Structure 1
Amino acid sequence: MRNEQFSPGESIDRQSVDARAPAALPPSGQRIGERQLIAMMALLMALNALGIDAVLPALDNLATDLGASGNSRQFVVGAYLLAAGLGALVPGSLADRYGRRPVLFSALGLYIAFSLLCALAWNFESLLTLRFLQGFGAAGIVALPPAIIRDRVGGDKMARMMSLIFVIFLMVPAIAPSIGQGVLMVMGDWRWIFVFTAVAGVAMGAWAWRNLPETLHPEDKQPIQPRVIARNMRATLTMRQALGYTLGSAVIFGALFGFINSAQQLVGEAFGAGPWFPAIFACCAGAMAVASWTNSRIVERFGARRVSHTGLFLFLIVAAVQLFVATMTEETLWTFVPLMAANMMLLGFIGANFGSIAMQPFRETAGAAASVQTFLRMVTAAVIGASIGYAYNGTAIPLATALFGGALICIGLVLFAERGKLFGPPVGED
């Protein structure tokens, strides 16, 4: 991968250069290389993962302190995920009009502010409300990175860059529970976990403020008019390719969210391995990161469609095995973890590729497209994930059933998007 510097009016990849007016430099006047851009976008998106996963080891303490009972503790995660999806409708259209930078930094500011307010929550209901507002306000740090990348490149090149972003991004959920557990052990109070996430948000904001250029091209600016916004968003909802792949990833990642929601109880209660939860979670998320790195090395050669379709069918096979083991045997940690890690690894060949295929047609309206797709993906996945988590019954059967059913539905949606033809040629370049 090259680490050449590019001016704001240039594309990162010389094969995808658009002849356009240069965009504004950041306040420092510095330029940003491809590697730094990938790392920055990954860590911006990872702030959400940190906000979700760092608190997982503290759910028992949190539930005891605030009087939450049973599976309701999972709503601390579910409220954030659902709100992030709902909030994703807002930043894209604003970013298509005013630029990526001001909207991104507004989202960062809300993330930091509500992290601190969560640390001051006085009861469980207030925490859920603040978590919802945190997720809603911070939706831009999830929705805008794909638009920023799409401003520069498209097709399989975008899939390669998004895969590299996922490699770094997935390192955070792999270690976030360990970070949360470490903060809990050192400080003795779950509230300091939210303080830590606020500090991480400040650090990321300072880095991006200094180095991230505005990527929206002046001629691509869209007016803030209901008719224009509705037209741009409708294009995403009515385009077969975009809709099929967005909903497909939403369904299959909903099953993953189900794992995130119920993982702490599943590992701690069903398998009696609570102290090992951070390490087990790291193994599963780490497998997904390894797959994303592998995907970045092969996707331009074989094409996003071939790679992701192969990964999806392998996911179905592993999920079928997982369902058989969960229902027909007395499952143990030694069977659950390898199968869960295998399925999360296969998601590494699906997520970035599905997202890139869905974003491919929307260069001029990348912000609106990213918002609508993030909204559909996050809201659908959050609802599915919360339902799976709340169905937790002391076994891995609800999760295994969801993984297998999600894979089947996802295959159907991809067939819809591709008009019945799978394993097609690589996506054409801009």
Structure 2
Amino acid sequence: MTAPTARYPMSEFEFVAFIAALMAVNALGVDLMLPALADIGRDLAIVTANDRQWIVTAYIFGFGIGQIFYGPLADRFGRKPVVVVALLCFVAAAVFAAHSASFAALLGARVLQGLTSASSRVLSVAIVRDRFSGRQMARTLSVAQMIFFVFPILAPTLGSAVLAFGPWRLIFYALGAYTLVVFVWALTRFAETLPQARRVPISLAAMRQSYRLTLTDRFSIGYAVSSALTFGGIVAFVSSSQQIFVDEFHAGGKFTILFAVCAFSMGCAAFANSRLVERLGMRMISQSAVFGLIALSLVHVAIIASGHETLVTYIVFQALSMTCIALCGSNFGAMAMERVGHIAGTASSVQGFISSVGAVVVAAGIGQSYDGTTLPLALGYLGIGVVALALILWIEGGRLFQARAGA
């Protein structure tokens, strides 16, 4: 563990905790209101059950769009001013959501929440990249994600606890209050990680050059699309989880516990990755996870098709699939940044835009296919695994399980 210095007053422990808390703004923005989806549907007259999924996907859509702007701003003005302003704007968007009088207004507020929370993803990756690279970057992101995954585990339970004290609107006030705490932390403790000498003026020529480099580098674009696929699997599960647990398995009373089991598996995977990545490498772990996802999905589809799907089999296969997806996540992100680290802010924006908007497309395709069974989700995971494997073969020139320098 590194000690605080004049340049970085945070110790490594506090730094990782801060990054996790920053990332958690987004996690809570997605998961905190899941127990309230049925209440929101009744209060705002949402007739079709599948339409409630748009409360999640609208947020992710805004999250993806917003990322395209934060990178150039962070590369020009530094990380700290951008993140503190964005956090304040997120608080305002949360208040707007709490006062929504119609489904359309709520969706608009959710898009705004996504637009402002996009800073958490772009800036967290760029800040870590400012200080670390290669396997050390992947290890740091994995540790942060391990802490970050505690929030999806607890979020539905916290949301249910908030609902015990008031209507669903109170959840958005709680979300704003948490973000305000992170804002104060950033304002008082976080030190700028981008020196003046490395800042890039905002110009069309510079942006065009950075975007071209990010979009034409095979590793950057390939692993960004791979991240979109795996992130889409997570969003599909989150957006349809309330319907699956409540409507299909009639386990509404255990929803928060069952959801936590699946999220906990991702936390365990992130912890394992943080311990193993420097020894085994990002490619060995992520590629093994992709093969694991394909194998699990094939078996799961067969079980569903044979009529033997139960709540137990669903939980087991969902948790194992989420484990594989988590083992891909931070490694794909780190590998996407391998050759564009010198433009980390802009590269993170472009890659985040691709992964988030792509995830919305993937999640909408899977989630809107929900037919009262878990088959669309299992088939979706199978497709994610197969396409991700094809992308990896293209990115790596047909070579699998071969580590590169530092990876």
TM, length-normalised to structure 2: 0.98
1:204 and 2:204 matched: no
Match of 1:306 among 267, 284, 287: 284
Return the offset for 1:39. Answer: 1.0
Write out per-residue CA displacement over residues 133-182 of structure 1, whole angstroms, 9 at most, x where no aligned residue. 11112211111100000001100110100110110111101110011011
Instruction: State the partner residue of 1:193.
Output: 171
In structure 1, runs of 5+ residues without a counterpart are 9-24, 26-30
The 3-state SS of whatever aligns with 2:243 is helix
Distance (Å, rounded) in 1 between the aligned partners of 2:84 and 2:318: 36
Runs of 4+ displaced beyond 4 Å? none
Write out per-residue CA displacement over residues 206-245 of structure 1, whole angstroms, 9 at most, x where no aligned residue. 1111111100122211111011011112111100011111
Instruction: State the partner residue of 1:114.
Output: 93
Instruction: State the partner residue of 1:138.
Output: 117
Q: How many residues align?
A: 406
Structure 1 stretch displaced more, 371-380 or 305-314: 305-314
Return the offset for 1:424. Answer: 1.3
Opposite residue 360 of structure 1, the aligned amino acid is E
Question: Contact conserved, 2:221 with 2:336, CA < 8 A, in 1?
Answer: yes
How much is the aligned-residue C-alpha RMSD, in angstroms? 1.2
Instruction: State the partner residue of 1:125.
Output: 104
1:287 and 2:265 matched: yes
Structure 1 stretch displaced more, 386-395 or 373-382: 386-395
Distance (Å, rounded) in 2 between the aligned partners of 1:367 and 1:398: 36
Return the offset for 1:186. Answer: 2.1
Match of 1:92 among 71, 76, 83: 71
Question: Contact conserved, 2:230 with 2:328, CA < 8 A, in 1?
Answer: no
Distance (Å, rounded) in 2 between the aligned partners of 1:281 and 1:136: 26
Opposite residue 300 of structure 2, the aligned amino acid is Q
The 3-state SS of whatever aligns with 2:406 is coil
Instruction: State the partner residue of 1:339.
Output: 317
Instruction: State the partner residue of 2:242.
Output: 264
Distance (Å, rounded) in 2 between the aligned partners of 1:423 and 1:217: 37
Return the offset for 1:426. Answer: 4.6
Instruction: State the partner residue of 1:326.
Output: 304
1:386 and 2:402 matched: no
1:182 and 2:181 matched: no
Write out per-residue CA displacement over residues 340-360 of structure 1, whole angstroms, 9 at most, x where no aligned residue. 001111222111111111112
Write out per-residue CA displacement over residues 321-373 of structure 1, whole angstroms, 9 at most, x where no aligned residue. 12212222241101000110011112221111111111122232110011001
Structure 1 stretch displaced more, 200-209 or 133-142: 133-142
Instruction: State the partner residue of 2:35.
Output: 57
Instruction: State the partner residue of 1:173.
Output: 152
Distance (Å, rounded) in 1 between the aligned partners of 2:17 and 2:305: 41
Question: Contact conserved, 1:220 with 1:365, CA < 8 A, in 2?
Answer: no
Distance (Å, rounded) in 2 between the aligned partners of 1:280 and 1:89: 35
Instruction: State the partner residue of 1:223.
Output: 201
Instruction: State the partner residue of 1:19.
Output: none
Question: Contact conserved, 1:59 with 1:73, CA < 8 A, in 2?
Answer: yes
Return the offset for 1:124. Answer: 0.8
Opposite residue 139 of structure 1, the aligned amino acid is A
Match of 1:78 among 45, 49, 57: 57
Distance (Å, rounded) in 1 between the aligned partners of 2:373 and 2:33: 22
Structure 1 stretch displaced more, 94-103 or 380-389: 380-389
Instruction: State the partner residue of 2:80.
Output: 101
Structure 1 stretch displaced more, 282-291 or 308-317: 308-317
Q: Which has the higher helix share?
A: 2
Distance (Å, rounded) in 2 between the aligned partners of 1:341 and 1:428: 30
Residues 1:91 and 1:259: Cα distance change in structure 2 (over 3 Å): same
Opposite residue 133 of structure 2, the aligned amino acid is G
Distance (Å, rounded) in 2 between the aligned partners of 1:265 and 1:3: 45
Distance (Å, rounded) in 1 between the aligned partners of 2:273 and 2:379: 27
TM, length-normalised to structure 1: 0.92
Write out per-residue CA displacement over residues 78-127 of structure 1, whole angstroms, 9 at most, x where no aligned residue. 10001100110000000000000111112111111000110000111110
Which runs of structure 2 are paired with 1:155-174 in the superposition (5 Å)?
155-174=134-153
Opposite residue 392 of structure 1, the aligned amino acid is Y
Distance (Å, rounded) in 1 between the aligned partners of 2:196 and 2:283: 32
Question: Contact conserved, 1:156 with 1:427, CA < 8 A, in 2?
Answer: no
The 3-state SS of whatever aligns with 1:219 is helix
Match of 1:273 among 239, 251, 275: 251
Question: Contact conserved, 1:303 with 1:427, CA < 8 A, in 2?
Answer: no
Write out per-residue CA displacement over residues 359-416 of structure 1, whole angstroms, 9 at most, x where no aligned residue. 1222321100110010000000012112211111100011011000110000011111
Distance (Å, rounded) in 2 between the aligned partners of 1:253 and 1:427: 26
Question: Contact conserved, 1:305 with 1:427, CA < 8 A, in 2?
Answer: no
Instruction: State the partner residue of 1:5.
Output: 4
Residues 1:7 and 1:425: Cα distance change in structure 2 (over 3 Å): farther
Question: Contact conserved, 2:232 with 2:362, CA < 8 A, in 1?
Answer: yes
Opposite residue 373 of structure 1, the aligned amino acid is Q
Structure 1 stretch displaced more, 136-145 or 154-163: 136-145
Return the offset for 1:268. Answer: 0.4
1:404 and 2:382 matched: yes
Write out per-residue CA displacement over residues 273-303 of structure 1, whole angstroms, 9 at most, x where no aligned residue. 0111111111001011011111111100111
Return the offset for 1:427. Answer: 3.7
Instruction: State the partner residue of 2:210.
Output: 232
Opposite residue 3 of structure 2, the aligned amino acid is E
Match of 1:376 among 354, 357, 369: 354
Distance (Å, rounded) in 2 between the aligned partners of 1:327 and 1:83: 36
Distance (Å, rounded) in 1 between the aligned partners of 2:137 and 2:193: 15
Distance (Å, rounded) in 2 between the aligned partners of 1:7 and 1:348: 35
Opposite residue 214 of structure 1, the aligned amino acid is E
Distance (Å, rounded) in 1 between the aligned partners of 2:220 and 2:306: 38
